[in-house]
């Protein structure tokens, strides 16, 4: 009879031990995940710090570098390096042809201007658009994989870029508000565009720096053009104040000489002719100063009160106008440019009185008040309408001269009771001069 087999025994399992093992495994999993997150955080922090330092360095380069192309080349180089690319290009729109022109190329660790580049686009500009028109998007960055046919990219361009070992291209528009002012293209040797796309935010930040530099250059050019225009206007005023007014005085004296000759008064006629000659010589000398230095010779200037006296004597030489200079208040030294502009305003106003006002008397008042210096030219002529349109540089030139020294020009006229032209220079403007 066969032996009897013992039935298998079931080992009891402790439920609390199984739960503990499960919890331990979960804790280990979470710990490994946490360690990975810590490592990723440290890597991200290091990357962010490096990128911040790079952005700060670029901005410092912008403030120190006055050459726009050098700064743009620096931004292009840094962008390519941060994106771990193998080269890149910088492009600007050409409004004349409504196309894109190459400006700089970064190749073999060198910044190459377009004139020295072998890129086919130098000879064949590209259209603006982005997919499918071209590889130059207007409002957002785009990546292009060169192993495939790229819509909007000429085959000769793709062949040139492929010959450099480029497999992927990232184009980032330089945006100023809604305007696209240029493009930065980064070339990568990696076929997968994922890594480039993950750093688009950095490329956009660097493109923003290039945009800032372009805008600063624009503003600088606008300021230069405004300065040129202001200088042209100033020269026009100087020519008007020297030659035009000088000729007026010459003509007035010659007309007076002609009248006295008809009366056989040779001595008085000779005096008028001498005055005309003196005025012509004076005008010629001032014109030479304006051409040579474009401003009066400060070293040879006289005080404003004496200059006004000399001005009045010149106009009285015509014997058609008489007047006086009145001073009020305690005299204070005035800056050279303030004295010069006030004298020019008085000269223009006196010329207008002589030519148009039909006045017999004129008074020049120079008052040194507590709050301002005031120069007034008052005549007893027929007056005019200051609000009406007037040809020439007269009133416009006087107002511009007043603005240059922080003064206000007030013209008051009540036909036929004469005219008053008053220039008020606040003491605060004198302190800044």
pLDDT in tens, 109-165: 999 999 999 999 888 888 888 788 888 888 888 888 887 777 788 889 888 998 999
**What whole-number distance in Å separates Cα of residue 369 and Cα of residue 422?**
14
Beta strands in 161-227 (DSSP E): 168-176, 179-188
Could you tell me which residues come within 8 angstroms of residue 352 by beta carbon, excluding any fewer than 6 positions away? 394
What's the pLDDT tens digit per position in 70-123? 888 888 888 898 888 999 999 998 887 788 899 999 999 999 999 999 999 888
**Which runs of E-coded beta strand occur in 65-178?**
87-94, 99-107, 110-113, 142-145, 168-176
Do residues 394 and 352 lie in contact, with contact meaning Cβ atoms separated by under 8 Å? yes
β-bridge partners, 410: 422
DSSP 3: P
Q: Where does residue 91 fall: left (phi above 0), alpha (psi -120 to 50 degrees), or beta otherwise?
A: beta
Instruction: Give the single-character DSSP code of 166.
Output: -
152: left (phi over 0), alpha (psi -120 to 50) or beta: left
Exposed e or buried b per residue across 36-75, where buried means at least 16 C-beta atoms within 10 angstroms of its C-beta: eeeeeeeeeeeeeeebeebbeebeebbeeeeeeeebbbbb
pLDDT at residue 7 greater than cutoff 60? no
Is 6's pLDDT higher than 70?
A: no
- Going from the C-alpha of 214 to that of each of 142, 174, 209, 274, the distances in angstroms are 22, 10, 9, 60
- Tell me which DSSP letter residue 174 carries: E
Distance CA 215, CA 226 (A): 16
Task: Out of 11-15, 230-234, 364-368, give the one with best mean pLDDT.
Answer: 364-368
Average pLDDT over residues 56-61: 55
pLDDT tens-digit series, residues 176-222: 888 888 999 999 999 888 888 888 888 888 888 788 777 777 776 67
What CA–CA distance (Å, rounded) separates 173 from 211?
9
| pLDDT tens-digit map of 278-303 | 777 766 666 665 555 444 444 455 68
């Amino acid at each position: 009879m066969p032996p009897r087999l013992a039935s298998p025994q079931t080992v009891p399992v402790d439920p609390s031990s199984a739960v503990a093992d499960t919890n331990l495994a979960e804790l280990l999993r979470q710990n490994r995940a946490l360690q990975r997150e810590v490592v990723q955080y440290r890597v991200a922090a290091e990357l962010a710090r490096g990128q911040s330092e790079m952005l700060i360095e670029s901005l410092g380069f912008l403030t120190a570098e006055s050459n726009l192309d050098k700064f743009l080349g620096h931004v292009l180089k840094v962008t390519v390096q941060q994106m771990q690319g193998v080269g890149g290009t910088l492009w600007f729109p050409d409004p004349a042809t409504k196309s894109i022109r190459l400006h700089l190329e970064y190749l073999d660790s060198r910044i190459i201007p377009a004139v020295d580049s072998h890129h086919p686009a130098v000879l064949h500009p590209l259209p603006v658009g982005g997919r499918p028109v071209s590889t130059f998007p207007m409002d957002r960055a785009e990546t292009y994989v060169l192993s495939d046919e790229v819509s909007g990219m000429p085959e000769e361009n793709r062949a040139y870029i492929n010959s450099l070992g480029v497999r992927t291209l990232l184009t980032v528009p330089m945006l100023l508000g809604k305007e696209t002012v240029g493009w930065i293209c980064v070339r990568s040797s990696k076929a997968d565009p994922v890594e480039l796309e993950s750093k688009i935010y950095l490329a956009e930040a660097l493109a923003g720096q290039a945009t800032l530099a372009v805008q600063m250059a624009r503003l600088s050019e606008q300021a230069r053009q405004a300065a040129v225009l202001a200088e042209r206007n100033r020269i026009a005023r100087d020519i008007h104040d020297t030659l035009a007014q000088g000729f007026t005085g010459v003509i007035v004296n010659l007309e007076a000489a002609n009248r006295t000759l008809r009366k056989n008064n040779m001595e008085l006629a000779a005096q008028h002719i001498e005055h005309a000659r003196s005025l012509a010589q004076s005008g010629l000398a001032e014109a030479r100063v304006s051409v040579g230095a474009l401003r009066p010779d400060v070293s040879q200037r006289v005080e404003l009160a004496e200059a006004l006296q000399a001005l009045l004597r010149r106009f009285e030489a015509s014997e058609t106008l008489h007047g006086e200079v009145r001073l009020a208040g305690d005299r204070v030294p005035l800056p050279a440019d303030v004295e010069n502009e006030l004298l020019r305003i008085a000269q223009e106003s006196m010329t207008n009185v002589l030519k148009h006002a039909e006045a017999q008397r004129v008074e020049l008042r120079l008052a040194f008040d507590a709050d301002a210096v005031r120069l007034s030219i008052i005549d007893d002529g027929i007056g005019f309408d200051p609000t009406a349109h007037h040809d020439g540089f007269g009133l416009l030139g006087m107002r511009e001269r007043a603005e240059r020294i922080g003064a206000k020009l007030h013209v008051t006229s009540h036909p036929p009771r004469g005219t008053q032209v008053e220039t008020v220079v606040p003491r605060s403007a004198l302190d800044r001069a």
